[in-house]
Every structure is written in structure tokens, then in C-alpha cells.
């Protein structure tokens, strides 16, 4: 779907106009209402329309305007029209007509106090709302296929809107890339295939290096390798470099968990909904999508993205519960549960990133624990960090990128739960505080005095509900926007 910014006089196709809870119709909506002989007011009055954000009253074939339909979209309270509300408005309008047979839709934001950046963010939301993963559907009925081909946002300064969109469109593409990665079946997207998707970012100017199992073995990355040793698919480590900042500027290091399928290994998962585990690479997908966004908009910052790519399968060669492995950092790990594998992958990936790039800060992202879903549901991702400054930056980036985060604690008492009688640590800390002990495990592989944050996205990376018009059912592409916004905050 093509997205563009236009002058109000160039509006075409169906129209979407705003109505506020407290202020009534926007100026553009009032003009449409007058042209249609009061049809907009009658439509809202004849329904339970109250102007809440995203609520829609639809008028088909109205007289007095060229549009085949007019959507009166609720915008909430006028003094609270923020970026998130604008995104929901745009996404709701697109969702309403996406498969309606309509080919073009214009959202009228003229006359409304909206910055060019916020209007561009609404464009991102429209792009997200139009996303479909229909790659493998061969018999979809024609009336269920998307028909919408273009989405215009009419603003008072179209040139400023287009300029902002020239940057924001890459964020939209990054989200779509992450969603595509999460949506692919594991017989298509195994570690080597994922690495190839990373290498495709070279077209955006990203430098990509892929390590194979032989090279990782030479480096002593046995924690990562032990996860994939029960699979016929070779494990990989993909390193993506975007060096858009100064030569002497230390990079931001982004590390993603890329378990392309997680059967649990010898600690086999229950069969019910095991198919969900094709998405256990959601952290790696988010990091890869963020690298696409950062490089696409030519960000003036240095960023390294590393994704550890494995498949966790049961096999005669698979790691056994009670095995002890020596990580690349030199620390030994008693593997008590092979289904706590993501932290093993991340431990060596974190080591590699720190030793090879000496980053200014480290952010890892992973669908790490089911306990996070119990803690925060599907609304917030959990953040564990040793840096108040890093937390503040992520919290602000989440607000600006519509990906909310909540900070959870780290403490010595939780860390002691990982102590092992036979090795330096075990890979699980027991049933209590599972998300916290997982984070504490990762913290053991962070250099002293290095700013680090771990984001557990188990509850937000995949969803089975349609509460947010920006999100599809299943892979959300979560993480692209917050990581891109965080990188933007570090640009000079």
C-alpha cells in the first residue's frame, strides 16, 4: 500500500475525518458534513458513536462529495490528541476499508495541530494495519483479499509530511520485515535461511558477517552451540553493522535471541500449541527489523546487531539435562533444563558483541520466559537493567514508538538462585521469579560497569487477539520501533 502526504485539495478516494469526544467535528469533518447536508452528524447521532479513539461511523455513497464513503473516526479528547491516538485513528480507518473493495483512502488531518513527525507516525500505523501474512494462502476468496492500494494523509504542510515520511517509511518496512520473519514456518526459516535474510540488508548499506558452527567452536561458544546440537540445521551467528556515526563513537549493541524453532530439546515441550514456537526468534526478528529501519533512514549513529540463530530439537546428540558446558566467557553452566535455551544462546552472543565491539551500551531482546506473560500479559514488555540512564532512554523510546515497557528488579537474592553445586551456575533458578532469574543469568555475562538492558518480549511479540488495529493476529514485529527510537536518541 502506497502512503503519501497531500494537500487537502488533493484528497481522493474514501475520506476519513475526525470527531472529538468533547469538541465535536474537526474543521475538515465540518466541511464534509456541510457538503453532505449534515450526513456526518446524522451518522454519528444514529449510532452509539461517542468519539472515542478509533471508533467509526461510516456513511456510504453520501451526496455532495465525490467520495464513495466517509468514515467519521473518533479522536478522543481534543487536548489529548497525541501520537498514539493518531496512530490508532489511522490504523482503524485502514482496517475498516482494507478489504472493502475501496482502492484509495484519505485521512484529513488538515486544521488539526499535528507535527510532521506525528503525522508520519500515523503513516507507519497505517502501514502496520495493512500488513497481511498471506504468503502461503492459495485459495483466499477475492472478497477477503486486501483492495486498498493507496493511503493519503492530508495535512496543512504536505512537503513537511513527505520529508518526515522519507525517514519513517523505513521504520514501517522494518516492522514488516520483523513480522515476516516471525510468520515464516520453520521449514522455511531455519538458522541459515534467517542469516540470508540478514545478509539481504547489505542492500541498505549494512555490513553483514555470518559465523558458522566451526568458527563458533573455535571461539569456544559452546553455550550457544549446545542448544542446536540436536538439530540437523546448522547454528549460525549473524553480525550486522551500521556505522553511520563518528569513527571514534562506541556503538550501541543490540542482541537478539533467534531460536527458529523450539521443541524444548530433551526437556520436550507439551504438544499443545508447540507450533507457536516457530516464533521463538521474535527477539532476533525485532533486532533485524530495527537494523533495517536504522540503516534505511541513514541514522547518524553506530549500531551493531547480533542474532544467535539455532534450532532446539530432541535427538540422540541433543544436550541432556545435567550436562555442563563451558561458555565463551569461560564460565561453566549446568544445563538443568534444555528448554531454558534462549539464555544459553544469548550468553555467548553477548560475549561476542562485547569482546569484539566494546559497545557504549548493550540491549538484548528475547521471547525468553513464559513467566513474563503471566507478569505483564500482552500489554508491556519487561525490562531488566543495571542502568537508570538506560532505563530512562528505553522508557521514553517506548512511549514515542508505541511499544510500552515496564521495569522489573534485579537483586543478589535472585542471583543466588542460579548457584550450582557442580558448575559456576545452572541455567534455571526454580519456579519462582522465572523472568527475573533468567535476566540475572544474562547479567552474569555482562562486563563490569557496562550499561546493559534485557527486554523480555514473550508477551508482546506474538498475540492472538485484535485489540490494537496496528497489530495482526500473531507476529507483531515488536521491538523495531523502540530500538529505532532509542538509536535516534543517541544520534548527534
Tell me, yes or no, if 197 is annotated catalytic: no
Phi, psi of 74 (to 5 degrees): -65, 135
Judge contact between 87 and 125, C-beta under 8 A. Answer: yes
H/E segment holding residue 426: strand 425-426
Q: Which of 343, 426, 470, 481 is catalytic?
A: 343
**Which residues lie closer than 8 Å to 129 by C-beta, 6 or more apart?**
90, 91, 92, 94, 95, 98, 469, 470
Judge contact between 440 and 410, C-beta under 8 A. Answer: yes
Tell me, yes or no, if 269 is annotated catalytic: yes
d(CA 466, CA 473): 6
From the CB of residue 203, how many other CB atoms can be counted at a distance below 10 Å? Answer: 10
Q: Which of 103, 132, 167, 269 is catalytic?
A: 269
Closest listed residue to residue 451, CA positions, set 355, 362, 343: 362
d(CA 68, CA 100): 11
Handedness of CA 134, 91, 38, 65 (dihedral sign): negative
Handedness of CA 445, 491, 381, 338 (dihedral sign): negative
H/E segment holding residue 85: helix 83-97
Catalytically annotated residues: 269, 343
Amino acid at each position: 500500500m502506497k502512503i503519501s502526504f497531500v494537500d487537502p485539495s488533493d484528497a481522493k478516494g474514501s475520506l476519513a475525518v475526525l470527531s472529538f469526544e468533547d469538541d465535536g467535528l474537526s474543521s475538515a469533518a465540518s466541511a464534509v458534513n456541510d457538503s453532505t447536508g449534515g450526513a456526518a452528524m446524522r451518522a454519528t447521532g444514529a449510532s452509539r458513536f461517542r468519539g472515542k479513539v478509533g471508533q467509526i461511523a461510516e456513511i456510504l455513497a453520501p451526496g455532495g462529495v465525490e467520495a464513495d464513503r466517509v468514515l467519521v473516526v473518533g479522536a478522543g479528547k481534543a487536548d489529548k490528541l497525541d501520537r498514539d491516538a493518531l496512530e490508532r485513528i489511522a490504523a482503524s480507518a485502514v482496517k475498516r476499508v482494507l478489504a472493502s473493495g475501496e482502492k484509495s483512502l484519505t485521512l484529513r488531518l488538515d486544521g488539526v495541530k499535528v507535527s510532521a513527525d506525528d503525522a508520519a507516525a500515523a503513516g507507519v500505523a497505517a502501514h502496520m494495519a495493512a500488513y497481511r501474512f498471506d504468503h502461503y494462502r492459495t485459495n483466499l476468496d477475492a472478497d477477503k483479499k486486501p483492495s486498498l492500494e493507496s493511503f493519503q494523509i492530508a495535512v496543512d504542510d504536505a512537503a513537511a509530511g513527505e520529508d518526515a515520511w522519507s525517514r519513517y517509511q523505513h521504520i514501517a518496512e522494518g516492522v514488516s520485515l520483523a513480522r515476516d520473519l516471525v510468520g515464516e514456518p520453520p521449514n522455511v526459516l531455519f538458522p541459515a535461511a534467517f542469516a540470508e535474510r540478514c545478509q539481504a540488508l547489505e542492500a541498505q548499506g549494512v555490513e553483514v558477517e555470518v559465523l558458522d558452527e566451526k568458527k563458533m567452536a573455535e571461539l569456544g561458544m559452546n553455550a550457544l552451540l549446545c542448544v542446536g546440537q540436536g538439530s540437523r540445521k546448522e547454528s549460525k551467528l549473524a553480525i550486522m553493522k551500521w556505522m553511520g556515526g563518528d569513527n571514534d563513537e562506541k556503538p550501541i549493541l543490540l542482541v537478539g535471541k533467534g531460536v527458529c524453532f523450539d521443541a524444548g530439546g530433551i526437556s520436550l515441550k507439551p504438544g499443545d500449541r508447540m507450533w507457536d514456537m516457530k516464533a521463538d526468534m521474535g527477539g532476533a526478528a525485532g533486532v533485524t527489523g530495527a537494523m533495517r529501519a536504522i540503516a534505511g533512514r541513514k541514522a547518524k549513529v553506530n549500531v551493531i546487531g547480533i542474532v544467535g540463530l539455532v534450532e532446539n530439537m530432541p535427538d540422540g546428540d541433543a544436550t541432556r539435562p545435567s550436562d555442563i558446558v563451558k561458555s565463551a566467557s569461560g564460565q561453566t553452566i549446568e544445563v538443568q533444563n534444555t528448554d531454558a535455551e534462549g539464555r544459553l544462546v544469548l550468553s555467548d552472543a553477548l560475549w561476542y558483541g562485547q569482546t569484539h565491539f566494546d559497545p557504549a551500551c548493550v540491549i538484548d531482546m528475547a521471547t525468553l520466559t513464559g513467566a513474563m506473560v503471566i507478569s505483564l500479559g500482552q500489554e508491556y514488555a519487561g525490562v531488566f537493567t543495571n542502568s537508570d540512564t538506560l532505563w530512562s532512554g528505553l522508557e521514553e523510546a517506548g512511549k514515542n514508538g508505541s511499544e510500552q515497557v515496564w521495569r522489573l528488579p534485579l537483586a543478589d537474592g535472585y542471583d543466588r538462585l542460579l548457584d550450582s553445586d557442580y558448575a559456576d551456575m545452572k541455567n534455571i533458578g526454580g519456579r519462582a521469579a522465572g523472568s527475573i532469574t533468567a535476566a540475572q543469568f544474562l547479567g552474569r555475562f555482562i562486563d563490569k560497569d557496562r550499561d546493559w538492558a534485557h527486554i523480555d518480549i514473550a508477551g508482546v511479540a506474538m498475540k492472538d487477539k485484535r485489540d490494537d488495529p496496528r497489530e495482526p493476529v500473531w507476529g507483531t514485529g515488536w521491538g523495531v520501533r523502540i530500538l529505532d527510537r532509542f538509536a535516534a536518541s543517541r544520534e548527534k
